[in-house]
Amino acid sequence: MDKIKEFILGIKEKLFPSGGKKSFLAEMRSGNKVPREKVDWETWKRRNLNLNGLGKLVWIILRFVIIVGISYMILYPFLVKFVVALSSTEDIVDNTVMYIPRQGSTYFIERAMLNMNYWTAFINTALLSLIVAACQLFVASVVGYGFARFKFKGRDLLFVMVLLTLMIPAQTIQLPLFVRFSHFLGTDLSLINTYWPLVILSALGLGLKNGLYIYLMRQFFRGLPKELENSAYIDGAGFFRTFFSIMLPNAANMMITVFLFGFTWQWTDTTYNSMLLPKLEILANKAANVASSIKDEAQQMAINDTACLLIILPLLIVFLFAQRYFIQSIERSGLVE
């Protein structure tokens, strides 16, 4: 039909020439074929050359500026620490050196690793963080599932109390915790400078940020369809089998996120570590005194920056490998009630 229409219009043009160029709208109304480039341009003008289109353009530019500004604020300190770590002792006092070291050296990296006894502290910190994060993950999963799926008297009150633990600064309970663990259960047994205080706190749901992890798991479980559990119950599965075989596998992404949160916060914690583990060789404790034996102020700052970079670098590597699970879980947590 299109070919017949084009043939008739061609004959009509030959018999009755227009003598002038038609407008775009006239061409469209007449049914003649218009070049695709012209159609696209006219469509773009109608959609964007108006107040609505200008508003969208302004929002795109504003959003770009905000993202670039926030990215700069976050990344700039890391870039500075990285440059300082690769600078020589002459570069840090040379005012002409900005972002690229003139001589370059690994002196500050080697000195920071030596002062921190880095690899021993690294192993101790990794082991402690893994144990604490695993305990917090297990407690948050069980308690969060209970708050999400079971109705019992006082449930809402208990959940509010869990949230209140996030509002109490850890510094306010430092002294009572120290006294309790230095005379554990009222005896002369002292658990200070061992892993046990942090393990006990995490296993009882009182560890660092434990309330946040319980909240995240609770919100995630509330977003899962109840038909999953009902099907398992119909098939004869009990509570524990349903929880471990059905619910936990579906919450794998959120569990990875909670584990990463617990691991990261324990890795960089200075509140509980300095109070309950003051003599234990872990990175957070070592970083506090890494430059105490150095007299020069500029070198002290450089070694402190390098030590911070050495502590954060393993966490960045872990995040690069686990960011997909982290983003997927955050997209679903807290969005469904």
| pLDDT 10s digits, 133-170 | 999 999 999 999 999 988 888 888 999 998 888 888 88
The CA distance from 80 to 68, in Å, is 17
| Residue 24 shares a structural domain with residue 168 | no
Q: What is the total count of domains within the chain?
A: 2
Asked whether residue 273 is assigned to any structural domain, the reply reads yes
Query: What CATH number does the domain containing 168 carry?
Result: 1.10.3720.10
d(CA 329, CA 213): 12
Are 162 and 274 part of one and the same domain?
A: yes
Separation of alpha carbons 237 and 303, rounded Å: 58
**268 lies in the same domain as 129:** yes
The C-alpha atoms of residue 29 and residue 16 are separated, in whole angstroms, by 18
The pTM assigned to this predicted structure is 0.76
pLDDT at 227 over 70: yes
Structural domain harbouring 174? 117-288
Residues 41 and 122 in one domain: no
**Helix ranges (DSSP H) in 192-251:** 196-203, 210-223, 227-234, 239-242, 248-250
pLDDT in tens, 207-226: 888 899 999 999 889 888 88
Tens of pLDDT, residues 277-301: 888 899 988 888 888 888 888 888 8
pLDDT 10s digits, 72-114: 998 888 888 888 888 888 888 877 777 788 888 888 899 999 9
Q: Which residue has the tokens 């807290």?
A: 334
Cα angle: 140, vertex 144, 145; to 5 degrees: 120
Residues 186 and 263 in one domain: yes
What confidence score (pLDDT) does residue 186 get? 81
pLDDT exceeds 60 at position 321 = yes
**Token pair for 299:** 């070198």
pLDDT at 128 over 60: yes
Examine the pLDDT at 200 and tell me if it is beyond 70: yes
> Is 305 among the domain residues?
no
Burial class (CB in 10 A: 0-12, 13-18, 19+), 149: middle
Nearest in space to 201 (alpha carbons), one of 256, 281, 285, 131: 131
Q: Are residues 248 and 144 in the same domain?
A: yes
Do 21 and 123 fall into the same domain?
no
What's the chain's average pLDDT? Answer: 82
Give the whole-angstrom CA distance, residue 155 versus residue 166: 18
Verify that 157 and 283 share a domain, yes or no: yes
Q: How confident is the model at residue 124 (pLDDT cuts 50, 70, 90)?
A: very high
